[in-house]
């Protein structure tokens, strides 16, 4: 029996994968939405083991996410390599949301000589839709392809796939806009490939939920007409709601040096019984082949994904699948935060985040509230396991109830759980739990701990699938539960009103609603999977 690997290869919040190969190296980009820095970049030598190597948009001059709505921001980047450099196109969604006919979707281009940069300042290309990709044709010409959005009453909002030439010198779109294909369903995420005398158009269809899938079309000419694949989907689980990988769709192709073709695609893994996907949309891989009649097909047959595909040709099964950077201990003894950390909407700057003011500690300055879309002091990592434990130790001396610091389990500004140290007028310094449940604020009075006599406060969050338990300790050994067990599955795309596209994050937050910028110091942070 051939050796296998297990999907997803990038677990947790890693949606909309875009993949390319340069020599023997593979590179992958994922959407980051309202999180900063923008566009997570990963590297692999074998398609199976991936390491975060940084982000493309790291400067305020490149990206301003202040006031961007939850699940707005960076949508569906597309990464490619040509002419000795990396090309990255993406959309910034500033206006979006359920029930809103309009979208402000601004498509930009950045380039870099290396995956680690330096990445250029963004160049605006268009604002007619989202999910852009860049096609480098064999004749050297470059083309931008994306979906177009139609806000008009009675129209299909997903108003077709369009193509326009990109002048690489001026970095502007030139010539006419060509409509390649229009279908009466949700068609997005377009990518173009040239193979066997055809131009192939790969599409994400059905919306990025339970009906998601990937469909194909092809043409002898770049600008069409395009014929649709006789199979309605080359990848989907819409007809098998028991499959462990759900919502499969939005993918890109890569060819290995051995000649194999692989599809990187998003997927989600729901938890029973609510069918909520705590870890968000993740990145998986499937081997694909070209059929005798020239259509792309899953190598194992059918249109359902495989949870454990065979390893790519030439890959040895000697190294376990790990992400040591994503789930580990951080003692804050480096000059900068690792690539697995993200901040909310704004960059990590010395004005509110410091690793030097108290060496070996992370100092966060309290700013705006947990509902703010502007200036929150929050840093977090992706939850990448259904069973995990996060822990920290902090020094914090609040004098008012408006000052709070602690451990946060976060989905967005409307849904999160906060294990916080704060001040109570009668009991002094206390540890308790506050939360936002789909926009409804609450505090849990049961289990509030007076901790005025504690020298330091240790905080812990334990997640066991849908169960979240908070606890606190004066010494890191004797733990006391704080509040009742909570429903961790609410930290998912599938809970609450509206459309959601990210995933659960766990991290550290400090708030000072006095405006006096009281700081908290964190000694360490751990986020480790727990063996069930």
Q: Of 244, 276, 298, which residue constitutes the final position of a domain?
A: 298
Backbone dihedral region for residue 32 (phi beyond 0: left; psi -120 to 50: alpha; all else: beta): alpha
Question: What is residue 317's predicted lDDT score, i.e. its pLDDT?
Answer: 57
- Measured between alpha carbons, how far is 350 from 347 in angstroms, rounded to an integer? 10
Residues 107 and 197 in one domain: yes
Q: Tokens representing 528?
A: 């480790």
Residues 396 and 354 in one domain: yes
* Domain assignment of residue 307, yes or no: no
Q: Sort 188 into a burial class: Cβ within 10 Å, 0-12 / 13-18 / 19+.
A: buried
Asked if residue 482 lies in contact with residue 471, where contact means CB atoms within 8 angstroms, the answer is yes
Residues 285 and 336 in one domain: no
Q: Of 279, 298, 317, which residue constitutes the final position of a domain?
A: 298
Residues 229 and 364 in one domain: no
Domain total for the chain? 2
Supply the range of the domain harboring residue 355.
329-529
Q: H helices then E strands: how many in the chain?
A: 0, 38
CATH code assigned at 136? 2.115.10.20
Residues 284 and 387 in one domain: no
Q: For residue 304, which phi and psi values (nearest 5 degrees)?
A: -95, 145
Partners of residue 296 on adjacent β-strands: 290
* Domain assignment of residue 215, yes or no: yes
Residues 127 and 30 in one domain: yes
* Domain assignment of residue 6, yes or no: no
Question: What is residue 97's predicted lDDT score, i.e. its pLDDT?
Answer: 79
pLDDT tens digits in sequence order for the chain, 532 residues long: 479 999 999 999 999 999 999 999 999 999 999 999 999 999 999 999 999 999 999 999 999 999 999 999 999 999 999 999 999 999 999 988 778 899 999 999 999 999 999 999 999 999 999 999 999 999 999 999 999 999 999 999 999 999 999 999 999 999 999 999 999 999 999 999 999 999 999 999 999 999 999 999 999 999 999 999 999 999 999 999 999 999 999 999 999 999 999 999 999 999 999 999 999 999 999 999 999 999 999 999 999 999 999 999 887 655 555 444 445 899 999 999 999 999 999 999 999 999 999 999 999 999 999 999 999 999 999 999 999 999 999 999 999 999 999 999 999 999 999 999 999 999 999 999 999 999 999 999 888 999 999 999 999 999 999 999 999 999 999 999 999 999 999 999 999 999 999 999 999 999 999 999 999 999 999 999 987 5
Non-local (6+) Cβ contacts of 418 within 8 A are 370, 404, 406, 407, 408, 409, 433, 434, 435, 509
Q: Of 298, 320, 342, which residue constitutes the final position of a domain?
A: 298
**What global pTM score does this model have?**
0.96
Question: What is residue 324's predicted lDDT score, i.e. its pLDDT?
Answer: 45
* Domain assignment of residue 265, yes or no: yes
Residues 341 and 467 in one domain: yes
Q: Is 16 a catalytic residue?
A: yes
* Domain assignment of residue 308, yes or no: no
Residues 334 and 292 in one domain: no
* Domain assignment of residue 3, yes or no: no
CA distances to 135, 136, 191 from 139, rounded to whole Å, are 11, 8, 18
CA distances to 207, 491, 502 from 495, rounded to whole Å, are 17, 7, 12
Residues 260 and 352 in one domain: no
CATH code assigned at 471? 2.60.120.200
Q: Which residue among 34, 188, 391, 512 is the active-site one?
A: 188
* Domain assignment of residue 105, yes or no: yes
Asked if residue 181 lies in contact with residue 174, where contact means CB atoms within 8 angstroms, the answer is no
Residues 285 and 384 in one domain: no
Residues 47 and 122 in one domain: yes
Asked if residue 352 lies in contact with residue 345, where contact means CB atoms within 8 angstroms, the answer is no
CA neighbor of 413 nearest in space, from 477, 369, 465, 471: 369
* Domain assignment of residue 22, yes or no: yes
Residues 363 and 441 in one domain: yes
- Measured between alpha carbons, how far is 193 from 202 in angstroms, rounded to an integer? 8
């Amino acid at each position: 029996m051939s050796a296998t690997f297990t999907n997803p290869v990038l677990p947790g919040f890693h949606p909309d994968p875009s993949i390319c190969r340069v020599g023997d190296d593979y590179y992958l980009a994922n959407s980051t939405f309202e999180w900063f820095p923008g566009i997570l970049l990963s590297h692999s030598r074998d398609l199976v083991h991936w390491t975060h190597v940084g982000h493309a948009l790291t400067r305020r001059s490149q990206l301003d996410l202040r006031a961007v709505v939850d699940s707005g921001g960076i949508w569906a980047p597309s990464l490619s390599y040509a002419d000795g450099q990396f090309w990255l196109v993406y959309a910034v969604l500033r206006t979006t949301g359920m029930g809103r006919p309009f979208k402000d979707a601004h498509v930009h281009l950045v380039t870099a000589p290396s995956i680690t940069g330096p990445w250029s300042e963004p160049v605006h290309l268009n604002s007619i839709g989202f999910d852009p990709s860049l096609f480098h044709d064999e004749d050297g010409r470059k083309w931008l392809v994306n979906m177009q959005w139609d806000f008009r009453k009675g129209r299909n909002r997903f108003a077709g796939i369009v193509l326009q030439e990109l002048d690489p010198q001026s970095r502007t779109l030139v010539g006419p806009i060509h409509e390649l294909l229009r279908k009466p369903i949700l068609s997005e995420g377009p990518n173009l490939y040239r193979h066997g005398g055809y131009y192939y158009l790969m599409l994400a269809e059905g919306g990025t939920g339970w009906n998601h899938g990937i469909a194909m079309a092809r043409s002898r000419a770049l600008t069409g007409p395009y014929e649709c694949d006789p199979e309605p989907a080359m990848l989907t689980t819409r007809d098998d709601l028991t499959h462990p990988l759900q919502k499969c769709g939005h993918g890109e192709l890569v060819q290995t040096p051995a000649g194999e073709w692989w599809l990187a695609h998003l997927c989600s893994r729901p938890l029973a019984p609510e069918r909520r996907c705590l870890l968000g949309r993740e990145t998986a891989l499937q081997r694909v082949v070209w059929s005798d009649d020239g259509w792309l097909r899953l190598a194992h047959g059918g249109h359902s994904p495989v949870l454990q595909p065979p390893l790519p040709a030439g890959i040895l099964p000697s190294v376990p699948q790990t992400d040591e950077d994503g789930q580990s201990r951080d003692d804050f003894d480096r000059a900068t935060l690792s690539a697995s950390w993200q901040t909310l909407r704004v960059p990590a700057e010395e004005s509110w985040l410091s690793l030097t003011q108290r060496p070996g500690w992370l100092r966060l300055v309290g700013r705006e509230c947990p509902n703010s879309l502007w200036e929150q002091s929050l840093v977090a990592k992706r939850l990448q396991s259904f069973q995990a434990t996060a822990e920290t130790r902090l020094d914090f001396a609040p004098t008012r109830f408006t000052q709070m610091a602690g451990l946060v389990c976060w989905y967005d500004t409307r849904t999160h759980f906060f294990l916080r140290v704060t001040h109570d007028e009668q009991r002094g310094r206390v540890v308790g739990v506050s939360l936002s449940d789909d926009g409804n604020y609450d505090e849990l009075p049961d289990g509030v701990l007076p901790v005025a006599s504690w020298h330091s406060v240790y905080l812990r969050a334990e997640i066991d699938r849908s169960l979240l338990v908070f606890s606190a300790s004066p010494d890191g050994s004797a733990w006391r539960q704080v509040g009742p067990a909570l429903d961790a599955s609410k930290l998912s795309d599938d809970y609450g009103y509206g459309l959601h596209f990210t995933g659960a994050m766990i991290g550290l937050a400090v708030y000072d609603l006095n405006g006096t910028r009281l700081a908290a110091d964190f000694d360490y942070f751990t986020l480790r999977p727990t063996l069930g």
